[in-house]
Amino acid sequence: MSEQLWRKNLINITPYVAGEQPKSDGIIKLNANENAYPPSPKVREILDRAKPEDMRRYPSADAGPLREALAKRAGLSVDNVFVSNGSDDVLATAFRAFFNSDKPIVYPDITYSFYPVWCDLLKIPSRTVPVNEDFRIDAKSLYGEGNGGVVFANPNAPTSLAESREFVKDVLEHNKDCIVIVDQTYVDFADDGIDSLDLIKEYDNLLITHTFSKSRSMAGMRIGEAYGNAELIKYMLAVKDSYNSYPVNRLSIETGVASVQDEEYFQSTLRKVITTRENVSRQLKELGFDVPKSQTNFLFAKHPKYAAKDIFEFLREKGIYIRYFNKPRIDDRLRITIGTDDEMAQMISQIKAFMGK
């Protein structure tokens, strides 16, 4: 009997579920919002020059060279920049650092599904507020003197929609007593007027998070960053050194710097993804899909006649992986990552085949 008592102390948590990773070659993978194009050629140069003997040395403890490169690009001080192993680690560090009261943090009910996982894992009280029928976030729903913090993705996932910089200011003006985290994972694919990075100079309770996984084509290197006032960054560094002292690895730092310094290539790949996104959105609409205006590198589409799950399963059988969420309010929609023009043409062709066109 007593030998079973230890099971009472095991964690009871519902984990985050990532997009399926294909186990065979020849798959068109449009389910994880990875970039369709490779990283900057300057990244390749770093990898080609890498010396095995360098790997015996520890990397910079705080990813200093990469923080400096990011700060320079953003027109900020290095003290305003935090870097860690992917934006998920950045966000988890921020949750640990800033959400320690008995007041609930607030986030939309349809958003990045890791937020509730961290709240559950870290025992952070939380409450969700519903997005409206058009999947827009109501700024007023995020107001509140009783908030222990606010976090929202802008642009949002999986809806692909973005709120304006004025929306962000409105939320900040009504949450001056807590930290507001704006997760800008997809902001590089958005229209002008969405990026709120400059607001950290105006609001000392604002933290902006970002990643190299999407717009910089470096998901495999696990690099994420945050921007905020020096005090916030100091506390994030302290938390990271307390619970996870493992720094960003040497190659990630060096290739990250190379990517940041190649602005021309960065902008050129963004233009390619956005152009393809608009073309595919138009084609899906011509096939009868409802497709909101995307501000990301994916589309969030539904068809009034065909079940999303049926389309998802048909495409999967054809070796095309997109994302289906079996969740309330969004189980009629598909999240489709923007791939190359050829990959998207194959997907459209198979959707037509599914429809008998």
Higher local confidence (pLDDT), 280 or 246: 280
Question: Are 188 and 285 members of one domain?
Answer: no
343-348 mean pLDDT? 98
Instruction: To the nearest 10°, report the CA torsion of 22, 135, 137, 225.
Output: 20
pLDDT value for 2:
56
Nearest to 265 by CA among 34, 33, 35, 42: 42
Q: What is the pTM of this model?
A: 0.93
Number of domains in the chain: 2
pLDDT value for 5:
73
Q: Does residue 319 form part of some domain? A: yes
Percentage of the chain with pLDDT > 70? 95
Question: Are 257 and 142 members of one domain?
Answer: yes
Question: Are 256 and 268 members of one domain?
Answer: no
Question: Are 187 and 212 members of one domain?
Answer: yes
Q: Which of 203, 227, 261 is the last residue of a domain?
A: 261
Residues 248 and 257 sit within 8 Å (Cβ to Cβ)? no
Contacts of 228 (CB under 8 A, 6+ apart): 80, 82, 200, 206, 207, 208, 236
Q: Does residue 6 form part of some domain? A: no
Nearest to 36 by CA among 267, 296, 217: 217
Provide the CB-side half-sphere exposure for 41 (13 A, CA): 3
Rounded Cα distance between 147 and 176, Å, is: 10
Q: In whole numbers, what is the pLDDT of the chain averaged over residues?
A: 94
Question: Are 76 and 132 members of one domain?
Answer: yes
Question: Are 172 and 201 members of one domain?
Answer: yes
Domain range for 196 is 51-261
Say whether pLDDT at 44 is over 90: yes
Question: Are 139 and 278 members of one domain?
Answer: no
pLDDT value for 1:
44
Higher local confidence (pLDDT), 55 or 178: 178
357: its two tokens: 């066109």
Question: Are 191 and 218 members of one domain?
Answer: yes
Q: Which of 221, 242, 261 is the last residue of a domain?
A: 261
Question: Are 223 and 323 members of one domain?
Answer: no
* CATH at 93: 3.40.640.10
pLDDT in tens, 99-158: 999 999 999 999 998 899 899 989 999 999 999 999 999 999 999 889 999 999 999 999
Q: Does residue 1 form part of some domain? A: no
